[in-house]
C-alpha cells in the first residue's frame, strides 16, 4: 500500500484522465493533446472550452454557434438577483460565486445527466453576471443589465465590470489568462469536484465543491495573495528586503512553487510576457519591476519559480480588476475543466473513496458520562 500519511497524496496516481497532461516529461501541459503554448497563441477561450468539453477542436461553424449559445446564457433569474442583493457587501466574491452556483442549482436543478452540457454552459454564462451584479449593486448602488453583445467571456466580463467595452488587446490578455487557467488535471479543486461527481451528485454540487476548494491561498487564492504581497512594496529594493525577511521567518511566498512542476510552470512564462506588455501599456512598470525582483529573490534563495498565479495577479491588476475578483476569474475558467472532469467521471463512474491509515487510540471501554473526569 502506498504511504500517504502527511504526504498530501503527492505522487499518488488517483485515477486516469484523457483531458490534460501536467508536467509529463516531453509533454509539458497539454489539453486533449494540444500544447498550452499553441492554445494560448492561436485559440480563444471559447474554443478551449469546446475542446475540453467535447474532446476535439470545434469547426468554424460549431464555434460560431457555441459562442452564441454561451452568450444566450448570461441572464440571471430574478430570485437569484434578489439573493445576491441580500448577501453582505463585505462578502468575499468567492463566497458570492459559491452561493450563486448553489442557488442556481435550486432554481434550475439538473434533473438528468442528459442536461449536463446545457448546465455547464449555463454556469459559464451566468458566473460573470452573478459576480458583476452583486458587485455593482453593493459597491455602486445600482442594478446592472447583465447581458451585453460581447461574444467572448473576457470582453463581456470587462464590459460588465467597467461599464465600457475593453480594447481588443486588453480583452485578449484576459482571454489568454482564461485559457491558461481552464484545466490542470487532478489539482485539488478538480479532484474534489470529481469526488462529488463520483457520488452521482448533480453538476452544480460538483462545481460548488470546486469553488470552495479553489478559494484557499495554497490553490487559487494565491493570485490574490500574490497581489497583496507585490503591492506591499514601493520599489524592488524594498521588495527584496521584505521577501528576504519573510523567508527568514519561514513564511511561504504565495505564487511560487508547485506540487507537480519541479523547475517551471509553463503557463507562467506565457502570462509573464503579457504582464510585461500590459504593465508598459498601463504605465505600471514599477509594479512589474517589483514582481521581477521577487521572482529573482525566490529563484536565488529557494530555487523556486513563479506558478501561474504570480504574474496573473499583475495582469488582472493592469486590467483594473479588484484583487478580490482574481480567484473568481480562475473560477470562470476552471468551470470548463471541472465540468469536463465531472463528465469523464460520470462516463466511467466508480465511487471515489480511498482508504486511511488509522493513527488513533486502540480499542477502549466506553465510560458513562457520570464517571468521566
Ligand atoms: C494555480 C495553482 O493553484 S498553483 C499553486 C498556488 N499556490 C501557491 O502559490 C502557494 C505557495 N506555494 C506552496 O504553498 C507550495 O509550493 C504548494 C502548495 C503549491 C506545493 O506544495 P508541496 O508540494 O506540498 O510542497 P511543500 O509545501 O511541502 O514545499 C516543499 C518545500 O519548499 C518550500 N516551499 C514551497 N513553496 C514555497 C513558497 N511558495 N514559499 C516558500 N517556501 C516554499 C516549503 O517550505 C518546503 O520547504 P522545507 O522542505 O524546507 O519544509
Ligand atoms: O495543479 C495544481 O496542483 C494547481 C494548479 O496549478 C492548477 O490547478 O492550475
* Cross-strand pairs, 24: 28
- State the pLDDT confidence band at 3, using cuts at 50, 70 and 90: low
pLDDT digits (tens, 9 = 90+) for 100-145: 999 999 999 999 999 999 999 999 999 999 999 999 999 999 999 9
Is there an atom of ligand 2 within 6 Å of 268 CB?
A: no
b/e for 98-113, b at 16 or more Cβ within 10 A?
bbbbbbbbeebebeee
Q: Express each pLDDT in 224-267 by its tens digit.
A: 999 999 999 999 999 999 999 999 999 999 999 999 999 999 99
- What is the widest separation between alpha-carbon atoms in the chain? 76
Q: Which of 150, 175, 265, 309 is catalytic?
A: 309
For residue 37 the three cell numbers come to 503554448
What is the best residue among 184, 215, 268, 337 to mutate for testing ligand 2's pocket, by most ligand atoms within 8 Å of CB? Answer: 184
Average pLDDT of 256-279?
A: 96
Q: Tell me: pLDDT of 24 over 50.
A: yes
Confidence band for 6, pLDDT divided at 50, 70 and 90: low
Is residue 4 scored above 90 in pLDDT? no
As a whole number of angstroms, the distance between CA 183 and CA 185 comes to 6
Mean pLDDT for all residues in the chain: 96
3-state secondary structure of 21: strand
pLDDT at 28: 86
How far is it, in rounded angstroms, from Cα 292 to Cα 113?
A: 47
Sign of torsion over alpha carbons 244, 245, 249, 252 = negative
Answer whether residue 373 shows pLDDT above 50.
Answer: yes
What distance in angstroms lies between residue 219's CA and the mean position of ligand 2's atoms?
Answer: 7
* pLDDT score, position 281: 94
Rg (CA), the chain: 22
The position carrying cell 478580490 is: 324
136 Cβ closer than 6 Å to some ligand 2 atom? no
Determine which residue's CA is closest to atom 31 belonging to ligand 1.
Answer: 257
Distance of alpha carbon 28 from alpha carbon 13, whole angstroms: 18
Residue 97 binned pLDDT confidence (cut-offs 50, 70, 90): very high
Among residues of the chain, what percentage have pLDDT more than 70? 98
Domain ranges of the chain: 20-217+325-348, 222-319
CATH number of 20-217+325-348: 1.10.580.10
SS3 20: strand
Q: Which residues line ligand 1 (CB under 6 A)?
A: 8, 10, 218-220, 222, 252-259, 302, 304, 307-309
pLDDT > 90 in the chain, percent: 97
The pTM score is: 0.97
DSSP 3-state percent helix, strand, coil across the chain (nearest 5)? 60, 5, 35
Nearest to 192 by CA among 4, 14, 372: 14
Q: Which element (helix H / strand E) includes 162?
A: helix 153-162
CATH H superfamily, domain 222-319:
Cytochrome P450-Terp, domain 2 (1.10.230.10)
Say whether pLDDT at 1 is over 50.
no
Output the pLDDT for position 351: 98
CB atoms within 10 A of CB 293: 19
Please say if the pLDDT value at position 46 is more than 80: yes
pLDDT at 177 over 90: yes
Is 210's pLDDT higher than 70? yes
Alpha-carbon distance 373 to 364, whole Å? Answer: 16
Amino acid at each position: 500500500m502506498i504511504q500517504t500519511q502527511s504526504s498530501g497524496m503527492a505522487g499518488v496516481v488517483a485515477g486516469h484522465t484523457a483531458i490534460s497532461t501536467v508536467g509529463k516529461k516531453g509533454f509539458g501541459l497539454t489539453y486533449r493533446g494540444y500544447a498550452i503554448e499553441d492554445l494560448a497563441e492561436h485559440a480563444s477561450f471559447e474554443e478551449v472550452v469546446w475542446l475540453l468539453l467535447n474532446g476535439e477542436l470545434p469547426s468554424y461553424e460549431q464555434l460560431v454557434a457555441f459562442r452564441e449559445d454561451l452568450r444566450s446564457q448570461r441572464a440571471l433569474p430574478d430570485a437569484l438577483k434578489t439573493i445576491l442583493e441580500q448577501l453582505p457587501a463585505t462578502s468575499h466574491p468567492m463566497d458570492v460565486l459559491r452561493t450563486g452556483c448553489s442557488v442556481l442549482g435550486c432554481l434550475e436543478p439538473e434533473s438528468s445527466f442528459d442536461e449536463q452540457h446545457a448546465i455547464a454552459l449555463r454556469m459559464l454564462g451566468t458566473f460573470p453576471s452573478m459576480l458583476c451584479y452583486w458587485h455593482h449593486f453593493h459597491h455602486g448602488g445600482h442594478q446592472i443589465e447583465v447581458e451585453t453583445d460581447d461574444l467572448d467571456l473576457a470582453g463581456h466580463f470587462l464590459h460588465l465590470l467597467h461599464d465600457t467595452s475593453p480594447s481588443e488587446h486588453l480583452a485578449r490578455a484576459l482571454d489568454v489568462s482564461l485559457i491558461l487557467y481552464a484545466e490542470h488535471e487532478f489539482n485539488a479543486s478538480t479532484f474534489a469536484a470529481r469526488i462529488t461527481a463520483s457520488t452521482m451528485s448533480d453538476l452544480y454540487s460538483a462545481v460548488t465543491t470546486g469553488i470552495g476548494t479553489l478559494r484557499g491561498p495554497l490553490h487559487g487564492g494565491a493570485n490574490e495573495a500574490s497581489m497583496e504581497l507585490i503591492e506591499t512594496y514601493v520599489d524592488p529594493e524594498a521588495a527584496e528586503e521584505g521577501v528576504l525577511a519573510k523567508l527568514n521567518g519561514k513564511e511561504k511566498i504565495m505564487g511560487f512553487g508547485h506540487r507537480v512542476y519541479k523547475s517551471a510552470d509553463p503557463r507562467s512564462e506565457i502570462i509573464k510576457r503579457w504582464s510585461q506588455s500590459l504593465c508598459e501599456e498601463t504605465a505600471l512598470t514599477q509594479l512589474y519591476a517589483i514582481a521581477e525582483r521577487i521572482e529573482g529573490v525566490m529563484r536565488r534563495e529557494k530555487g523556486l519559480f513563479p506558478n501561474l498565479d504570480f504574474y496573473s495577479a499583475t495582469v488582472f491588476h493592469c486590467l483594473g480588476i479588484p484583487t478580490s475578483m482574481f480567484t473568481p476569474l480562475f473560477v470562470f475558467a476552471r468551470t470548463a475543466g471541472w465540468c469536463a472532469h465531472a463528465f469523464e467521471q460520470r462516463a466511467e463512474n466508480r465511487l471515489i473513496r480511498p482508504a486511511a491509515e488509522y493513527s488513533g487510540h486502540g480499542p477502549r471501554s466506553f465510560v458513562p458520562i457520570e464517571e468521566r473526569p
